[in-house]
Amino acid sequence: MHRKPERRAAPPSDPVPHPDCDARPDPTPDSDTAPRSPTLPATAPYQAGQREHRALRVSGEAGAALSQVTARLWPLLATILQAEAAPLVGAGFMRVGPGAAGQELHKDVHGHDRHGGVAGRGGEGDEGGEGGVGGEGSVGELIGAARAVSIQLQLSDTTAQPRMGSLEVLPGSHRPDAAQARPEQIRRAVEEPTASSGVLAVAVPAGTVTLYSSRLWHRGGANRSDRERTFCFLTVSEPDAPAPAGLIHTMERDEVGGWILDHRGLRATSEAKR
């Protein structure tokens, strides 16, 4: 799907803090028609051991590449979100410098994902309850909250240097009905984020595009190599739902609320209303 990233300078964006997260592999072959990986804003060198997290301007140089990628992803996103279009609620990138320590296990959005259908949309498991989109339901209603999805585009090959670190996840921890989401399991994984507690490390090739729930417990591993680890990300959520609780919106201020995703990729909301 992707060619290896080309690093070109673009106008810098203001830094916006946000929890770190990486990508898990979903490798696809290169082709002459594949979209190029987005280029990141030029930034000043940072000290060893630092994690640099910044907003990525969607209307800038990266926008065209991101739009091609999201257009290809939309059939899957539409199924997950059960929507014809979804608001973009985050856009940024991160550089993890050599010597950066591993993070604590965390999730980017509070609560659990619903695993029933959206009320009134006829989805699988839709019991017609009163929970509504974004509401917490009980038996006979929607279970969990409106879904939010993180899209990661990995720009570094973490398979060649295992000491570079990568994404580490607790699979299934975003679902309220999964064993991995039980409080005792989460507590154990946070205290000891290793394979013995169910946490899996994932080495990721450059050019990988990954989708995962923003409520999945995960962390960025330590970078013990002599090279930086770099990726960019987008966050989308169900339409007509409250903003995901706990999400820190990493996005240029003047672009907040200004973009959606649909079958044509990234589009300005003003264009979508025409």
Q: Report yes or no on 256 lying in a domain.
A: yes
Task: Let me know: does 198 contact 190? Beta carbons within 8 Å.
Answer: no
Tokens 């199924």, located at residue: 79
Total count of domains within the chain:
1
Gap between the Cα atoms of 159 and 177, Å rounded: 33
- pLDDT tens-digit profile of 102-111? 889 998 888 8
The alpha carbons of the chain give a radius of gyration, in whole angstroms, of 18
Domain of residue 236 covers 51-272
Q: Report yes or no on 176 lying in a domain.
A: yes
- How much of the chain, in percent, has pLDDT values that exceed 70? 71
Q: Report yes or no on 44 lying in a domain.
A: no
pTM of the model: 0.72
217 vs 176, residue with greater confidence: 217
- pLDDT tens-digit profile of 1-56? 434 333 333 333 333 333 343 333 333 334 444 445 565 555 555 555 688 888 99
Q: Report yes or no on 260 lying in a domain.
A: yes
- Residue 133: which CATH number? 2.60.120.10
Q: Report yes or no on 36 lying in a domain.
A: no
Q: Report yes or no on 78 lying in a domain.
A: yes
Segment of 202-206, 211-215, 218-222, 262-266 carrying the highest mean pLDDT: 262-266
Gap between the Cα atoms of 186 and 196, Å rounded: 13
Q: Report yes or no on 230 lying in a domain.
A: yes
Please determine, for residue 160, whether its predicted confidence score (pLDDT) is greater than 60: yes
